[in-house]
Amino acid sequence: QKLSLLARRAFGVDIDPNTIPTDKLASLAPEKVVAAVKAGSPYKQVALAERTPAGVTAEVRLRQVPADSPLAKPRLEENCLVITCADGTETVLHGKGAGRDPTADSVFSDIETLVRSDASEPVAAI
């Protein structure tokens, strides 16, 4: 549901959260998870919404994330949001989540701050 809310805010489109393809960690074989952690690229559930020539797409997929990626840093209830502008510049927002509503409020607040800044490029992906 968070991704649907972010897509609405970033791109002005309504995406039914029930239509967003979502991978579950339980779908991975335990050996695969252990091997990925040992290799330094653990699996994370990564939500992606992006504007493409065909329109806005959204998905939540299991991805192996390199240890040096900002998406590898969150632990437990922590969240990370990477906003990529059309020119390729990225802004990384992170912090502890407090449940669905407080987390969404916090993320929206950060996005509004970013939008009010002097960012001249439109958002390409979140």
Tokens coding 71 = 């998406």
pLDDT in tens, 55-75: 999 999 999 999 899 888 887
Helices (H), the chain: 2-11, 30-38, 100-116
pLDDT in tens, 1-55: 889 999 998 899 999 999 999 998 888 898 998 999 899 898 988 999 999 999 9
What integer pLDDT is reported at residue 62 of this predicted model? Answer: 93
Residue of 67, 112, 109, 69 lying closest to 92 (CA atoms): 69
Domains of the chain, CATH where assigned: 2-125 (3.30.360.10)
The partner residues of 45 in beta bridges, in order of sequence, read 62
What integer pLDDT is reported at residue 116 of this predicted model? Answer: 66
Which is more confidently placed, 56 or 86? Answer: 56
| Cα distance between residue 58 and residue 75, in whole Å | 23
| Cα distance between residue 15 and residue 29, in whole Å | 30
pTM: 0.70
Does residue 107 have a pLDDT over 90?
no
Residue of 71, 72, 123, 78 lying closest to 103 (CA atoms): 78
Does residue 119 have a pLDDT over 80?
no
What integer pLDDT is reported at residue 14 of this predicted model? Answer: 94
